[in-house]
Amino acid sequence: MSVRSLCLAILSFGDATGYEIRKESTEGRFSYFEDASFGSIYPALARLESEGLVTVREEPQAGKPARKVYSITEAGRTEFINSLCEPQAPDTFKSPFLLIALNAAQLPPEVIRRALERRKAQVQEDLRLLTDTHKDKECPHPGSGWTRDFGIACMSFTLAYLEEHGEALINIAEDAARPLAPAAE
């Protein structure tokens, strides 16, 4: 999914500035689709505008540069919905944490412990973000409720698993660290 489609997707949920789109895509709910930086978002928005898929209105502000608030047009909405009807790329999960887990026996226990804590904190943070979202008005997008519930379920499960089996992973590293004293004390 390109930055272009990402902008369309976010704008289909409401007006936004480039700055806000970046935030949503790196932290907010839309981080599950793609994350992008300013250097790609601003050019993408300019292009979308020249194609008539979005419109801009400038809101001057004292001190700061004028906010450029983008709105999706009917043409933009159509293009977005049509793009969703075409076959999508498969979901992907990339996990530096699992690479550490895979090599637990070759790493110091402290590294494993830190990686585990970090991963748990990350899941907790994602979970918190999702749980807080339910204050949104749910009229225009009933799909967001389903999506949120799915995310909460999967992450709660992941967190519980890490909490229950994390110690076992640390043990692997510890057992490998002193292979000469097998089962003592």
Partner DNA sequence: GGACACATGTAATCGGTTACATGATTAC
Partner DNA sequence: GTAATCATGTAACCGATTACATGTGTCC
Binding footprint of a second copy on the chain (CB under 8 A): 1, 9, 12, 32-34, 81, 84-85, 87-108, 111, 115, 118-119, 122, 140-144, 146-147, 149-151, 153-154, 157-158, 161, 165, 168-169, 172, 175-176
| C-beta closer to a second copy: residue 1 or 66 | 1
Nearest distance from C-beta of residue 38 to a second copy, angstroms: 19
> Which of DNA, a second copy, none lies near 113, with the C-beta cut-off 5 to 8 A by kind?
none
Out of a second copy, DNA, none, which partner does residue 40 contact, by CB within 5 to 8 A per kind? DNA
Closer Cβ to DNA, 65 or 182, answer by number: 65
**Buried b / exposed e along 105-131 (16+ C-beta atoms within 10 A):** eebebeebbebbeebbeebeebbebbe
Between 66 and 124, CB nearer to a second copy? 124
SS3 category, 85: helix
Question: Which residues, other chains included, contact 66 with Cβ-Cβ below 8 Å and sequence gap of 6+?
Answer: 58, 59, 60
DSSP string, 102-162: HTGGGS-HHHHHHHHHHHHHHHHHHHHHHHHGGGS--SS-THHHHHHHHHHHHHHHHHHHH
Binding site for DNA (CB under 7 A): 2-4, 17-20, 23, 34-40, 42-46, 61-68
Closest to DNA by CB, 1 vs 177, is 1
